């Protein structure tokens, strides 16, 4: 008996090429999903960092200003006004004297929030800040301090604003 049947061994070139194309499409799709997930994770991390830093500012401002009397809170427009001791109602540098008599200075130095108490200088945030401003608002009923700034982490910016009541 003669066998005229061919023994089929392996795959044809068309089958190999189609499997390579299908595998490439799946790899590209999987890579795209990974890239999108990584980008979303980075964005979420930036937002969490900004919110955490906003909470730190909130605690610093709330605790320290609440421990000061209204006449010990001074705002200076810039370094020259601070050096000449010319306080104003609006500015970028804040001086406080708490109930224990400690002098506290809050300002932005080269994009970093600095919090100085005497010779001890603290940089409480791990993000940059922009447009730091303080506004002292005095009325017959209450003294308030308005704090506003922008927190900046990578390509994200978060506005921060807070109104704090000052002791009379």
pLDDT along the chain (168 residues), means of 10: 63 90 94 91 86 87 76 89 92 85 87 86 86 89 87 86 82
CB contact set of 42 (below 8 Å; sequence gap of 6+): 154
Task: Look at residue 89 and tell me if it is in a domain.
Answer: yes
Q: Is residue 1 part of a domain?
A: no
Q: Is residue 4 part of a domain?
A: no
Q: How many domains does the chain have?
A: 1
130 within domain boundaries: yes
Q: Is residue 8 part of a domain?
A: no
Residue 5 in any domain: the answer is no
- Asked if 76 and 88 touch (Cβ cutoff 8 Å), the reply is yes
Q: Report the pLDDT value the prediction gives residue 70, as an integer from 0 to 100.
A: 66
Domain that holds residue 19: 13-166
Phi-psi region at 154: left, alpha or beta (left = phi > 0; alpha = psi -120 to 50)? left
pLDDT attached to residue 154:
79
Nearest Cα neighbor of 54 from 149, 156, 163, 142 is 149
In a domain, 71, yes or no: yes
């Amino acid at each position: 008996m003669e066998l005229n049947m061919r023994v089929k061994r392996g795959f044809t070139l068309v089958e190999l090429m189609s499997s390579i194309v299908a595998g490439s499409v799946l790899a590209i799709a999987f890579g795209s999903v990974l890239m999108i997930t990584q980008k979303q994770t980075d964005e979420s991390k930036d937002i969490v960092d900004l919110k955490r830093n906003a909470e730190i500012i909130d605690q610093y401002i709330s605790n320290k200003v609440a421990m000061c009397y209204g006449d010990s809170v001074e705002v200076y427009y810039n370094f020259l006004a601070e050096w000449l001791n010319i306080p104003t109602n609006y500015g970028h540098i804040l001086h406080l004297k708490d109930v224990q008599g400690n002098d506290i200075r809050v300002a932005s130095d080269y994009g970093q929030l600095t919090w100085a108490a005497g010779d001890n200088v603290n940089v409480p945030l791990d993000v940059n800040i922009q447009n730091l401003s303080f506004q002292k608002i005095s009325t017959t009923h209450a003294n308030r301090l308005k704090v506003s700034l922008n927190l900046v982490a990578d390509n994200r910016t978060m506005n921060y604003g807070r109104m704090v009541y000052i002791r009379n």
